[in-house]
Amino acid sequence: MAKLRVGVVSPEREIWSGEADMVIAKTVDGEIGIMPNHAPVLGILVDGGVLTVKRGDGDDLVAAVHGGFIAVANNDVSVLAEAAELGSEVDVAAARDALNRALASIDAESTGFDAQLEAKRARARLRAAGVEV
Amino acid sequence: MGAQLRQLRRRIRSVRSIAKITRAQELIASSRIVRAQQRMQAALPYEREITRAVSAVLSYDTTAEHPLMVAKENPQSAAVLIVTSDRGFAGGFNASILREAEALAGLLRERGIEPKPYVVGRKGIGWHRFRGREMHGEWSGFSDNPSYAHAKEIGETLVEAFTDDNGIDEIHIVYTEFVSMLTQRPKVVRILPLEVEESEEAPPGGPLPYYEFEPNAQAVLDRLLPRYIESRIYNALLQSAVSEHAARRRAMKAATDNANESIQRLSLQMNQARQAEITQEISEIVGGANALAEAAAGKE
């Protein structure tokens, strides 16, 4: 079966590239699963989403992706993230810390920074690292 | 004579310490060029993909309209983003970029457009302050190592000013293009309003597929264009950073070479002065001895 060529890039670096059997991402319309020979799609990704790249041998790649786009054409999948982090690179303690701080400021109804967004991002990072939240 | 010798010695010492500083600056700059170049390389895939995505949307829907693409009929003012460095010691780097910006300002005024400077880098900010020119935006502290967050901040400010009704009608960037280690040249590009070029040639990477858009083409374009602008600004910042290091390395290499040449010349002068001093002392001694001998001979 044909394979997908996947590239995950952020403005500052290429995060990951390689072959895969399936890519699952979350666009503003909902989750979308891409398999080989998928029709060309250009979608907007949600903030704080989790991207899963299935590579067949159980060695899946999970990344937290914050905003950006996914473009699929001719079995080429490019994920253009504004910011992204591989699950294996996530500092779980720091992410948990960020989540707690964000939740605390939501509770306190402070308007200093976008706490909802921060919480969403922190959750995505934790999920990508394989931690249940 | 002794005074001259002392003075020369002092000058050699000071030139030698200048040479040490410039040599160190040169080495630092050379090591940073490599890193800055790697960052520039690392940013390429994203840039390529986003350009492709924008072309895809626009070629799919050639009637697509977006506020960022509409040129105003009677442009009144233009933002000029001037990318300079935070530190000097880089030869003509900042001077040439500011000269280019001045030339652009002149051109804009001829067309009846008022240029509004937005300045990146401490050197450029200082230049504008010194001349009492108003700046509409200033950013500093990252010229040698910009991150995407900086480009985003600048991009948001500019796009906001552009979409505001009373704001600016055009956006230009003046930055230093990195051509090679030896050549960097100031470059002016207009980033807004975007120009759609009709081209018969196939875009790099093969013809563009007919995408389905999620949720729709307009929404995707709305999100894509600001990112595209930011990516362009980020690219300008990165190129400017590499150019800054390259210019600094070249300037510091020239300074080190000049200092070494000065040291040689001064050493030569110093040796001459020392030799002259010794010769004079000898002739004084010989003269004195002769005089004594003559006096003794006269007594006899």
- In terms of CA atoms, which chain A residue is nearest residue B223? A44
Interface of A with B in 30-69 (CB under 8 A): 32, 39-44, 68-69
| Contact (CB<8Å) B147/A12 | yes
CB A64 within 8 A of CB A48: yes
- In the block, which residue shows the tokens 């999920």? A127
- pLDDT for the residue A111: 61
pLDDT tens string A3-44: 899 999 988 888 888 889 999 998 888 889 999 988 888 899
| A87 contacts chain B (CB < 8 A) | no
| Contact (CB<8Å) B53/A7 | no
- pLDDT for the residue B64: 65
Residues of B with a Cβ under 8 Å from any A Cβ are 39, 42-43, 45-47, 49-50, 52-53, 56-57, 147-148, 151, 206, 208-215, 219-220, 223-224, 227, 230-231, 234
CA torsion angle A59 A60 A64 A65 (round to 10)? 130
* Gap from B95 CA to chain A (nearest CA, Å): 29
Q: Quick one: tokens of A22?
A: 């399936």
Q: Decide if pLDDT at A118 tops 80.
A: no
Q: Quick one: tokens of A95?
A: 């992410």
Per cent of chain B over pLDDT 70 is 94
CB A81 within 8 A of CB A45: yes
- In terms of CA atoms, which chain A residue is nearest residue B210? A40
CB A99 within 8 A of CB A133: yes
Q: Decide if pLDDT at B1 tops 70.
A: no
| Contact (CB<8Å) A42/B53 | yes
Q: Decide if pLDDT at B207 tops 80.
A: no
The chain-wide mean pLDDT, for chain A, equals 83
CB A39 within 8 A of CB B17: no
- What number of helices (H) and strands (E) belong to chain B? 5, 6
**Residue of A123 and B198 predicted with greater confidence:** A123
Q: Quick one: tokens of B300?
A: 């006899």
CB B177 within 8 A of CB B185: yes
- In terms of CA atoms, which chain A residue is nearest residue B47? A11
pLDDT tens string B7-28: 999 999 999 999 999 999 999 9
Q: Quick one: tokens of B1?
A: 């004579």
Residue type present at position A1: M
Task: Give dist(CA B300, CA B298) in Å, integer.
Answer: 5
**How large is the ipTM?**
0.81
> Between the CA of residue B34 and those of B29, B234, B246, what are the distances in Å?
9, 18, 10
Q: Decide if pLDDT at B285 tops 80.
A: yes
Q: If pLDDT is split at 50, 70 and 90, which confidence band does B61 have?
A: low
pLDDT tens string B33-55: 999 999 999 998 898 888 888 88
Q: If pLDDT is split at 50, 70 and 90, which confidence band does A1 have?
A: low
| Contact (CB<8Å) B219/A44 | yes
Which of B46, B147, B220 lies closest to A42 in CB terms? B220
**Which helix H or strand E contains B231, and what residues bound it?**
helix B217-299
- pLDDT for the residue B253: 95
Coil, strand or helix: which one is B173?
Answer: strand
Mutation target to probe the A interface, by most A beta carbons within 10 A, among B39, B40, B44, B49 is B49
Chain A residues with beta carbon closer than 8 angstroms to that of B49: 7, 9, 71, 78, 80
Backbone angles phi, psi at B272, to 5 degrees: -60, -45
- In the block, which residue shows the tokens 């960037």? B173
Which of A10, A43, A80 lies closest to B214 in CB terms? A43
**Residue A58 backbone zone (phi > 0: left; psi -120 to 50: alpha; other: beta):** left
- pLDDT for the residue A112: 57
Chain A residues with beta carbon closer than 8 angstroms to that of B147: 12
Q: Quick one: tokens of B97?
A: 């970029």
Task: Give dist(CA A75, CA A41) in Å, integer.
Answer: 11
| Contact (CB<8Å) A41/B215 | no
CB A21 within 8 A of CB A56: yes
CB B275 within 8 A of CB B211: no
Walk me through the domains of chain B, giving residue ranges and CATH numbers: 26-196+211-253 (3.40.1380.10)
Mutation target to probe the B interface, by most B beta carbons within 10 A, among A37, A38, A44, A47 is A44
Q: Decide if pLDDT at B29 tops 90.
A: yes
- pLDDT for the residue A115: 73
Report the candidate in B43, B51, B151 with the shortest Cα–Cα distance to residue A69.
Answer: B51
Which of B148, B209, B214 lies closest to A11 in CB terms? B148
**Residue of B62 and B238 predicted with greater confidence:** B238
Q: How far from each other are the two terminal CA atoms of chain A, in whole angstroms?
A: 36
Q: If pLDDT is split at 50, 70 and 90, which confidence band does B240 have?
A: very high
Task: Give dist(CA B96, CA B91) in Å, integer.
Answer: 10
| Contact (CB<8Å) B227/A9 | no
Report the candidate in A78, A76, A74, A55 with the shortest Cα–Cα distance to residue A65.
Answer: A78
| A80 contacts chain B (CB < 8 A) | yes
Q: Quick one: tokens of B15?
A: 């030139």
Q: Decide if pLDDT at B259 tops 60.
A: yes
| Contact (CB<8Å) B148/A12 | yes
In terms of C-beta density within 10 A (0-12 exposed, 13-18 middle, 19 or more buried), how is residue A129 classed? buried
**Residue B230 backbone zone (phi > 0: left; psi -120 to 50: alpha; other: beta):** alpha
pLDDT tens string B162-186: 887 767 888 999 999 999 888 899 9
Half-sphere exposure of B205 (CA within 13 A, CB side): 13
Q: Decide if pLDDT at B99 tops 90.
A: yes
The chain-wide mean pLDDT, for chain B, equals 88
- pLDDT for the residue B28: 93
> Between the CA of residue A50 and those of A4, A59, B13, what are the distances in Å?
18, 16, 63
pLDDT tens string B133-144: 988 889 999 888
Chain A residues with beta carbon closer than 8 angstroms to that of B234: 11
| Contact (CB<8Å) A44/B220 | yes
Give the rounded distance of the alpha carbon of B252 from its chain centre: 14
Q: How far from each other are the two terminal CA atoms of chain B, in whole angstroms?
A: 38
**β-strand partners of B77:** B114
* Gap from B25 CA to chain A (nearest CA, Å): 27
pTM for the predicted model, two decimal places: 0.85
Burial B207-239 (b: 16+ CB within 10 A, else e): ebbebebbeebeebbebbbbbbbbbbbbbbbbb
- In terms of CA atoms, which chain A residue is nearest residue B36? A12
- pLDDT for the residue B292: 92
Report the candidate in B52, B54, B53 with the shortest Cα–Cα distance to residue B205.
Answer: B52
Q: Decide if pLDDT at B202 tops 60.
A: no
**β-strand partners of B11:** none
- pLDDT for the residue B197: 66
Select the CATH number that applies to the domain covering A4-87 from these four: 3.40.50.300, 2.40.30.270, 2.50.20.10, 2.60.15.10. Answer: 2.60.15.10
